[in-house]
Structure 1
Amino acid sequence: MTAHRAGLVGCRACGRVWPEAETTCARCGSALMPPDRRSLGAVWAWLLAGLIFYIPANLFPMLRTSTLGGLMGSSESTILGGVIELIHYGSWGIAAIVFVASIVVPISKFVVIIWLARVAGRPATTRDAHRRLVIYEIVEFIGRWSMIDVFVVAILSALVQLGFVASIHPGPAAVSFALSVAFTMLSAQSFDPRLIWRGLPLRNRKEHE
Structure 2
Amino acid sequence: MFAQGAVHVGHAVDPAAVGASVWPEFGFSDMVRHATGLFGLLVVFVYSFLIAFALPGVSEVVLLAPIELGLTYWQRMAVIIFVSGVGKAAGSVFAFHIGQEAKEAGPIVRALRRSRFDVVEWSEKRTVELAQKWGYAGLAAALCVPGFPDTLSIYAFSVLEEDYLKFAVATFVGSVGRLVITLVGVEAVLAVGWV
What's the TM-score bracket when you normalise by the shorter of the two chains? 0.3 to 0.5
The structure showing larger relative contact order (alpha-carbon pairs under 8 Å, at least 6 residues apart) is: 1
Higher helix share: 2
- What's the TM-score, normalizing by structure 2? 0.32
Higher strand share: 1
Which entry has the higher C-alpha Rg, 1 or 2? 1
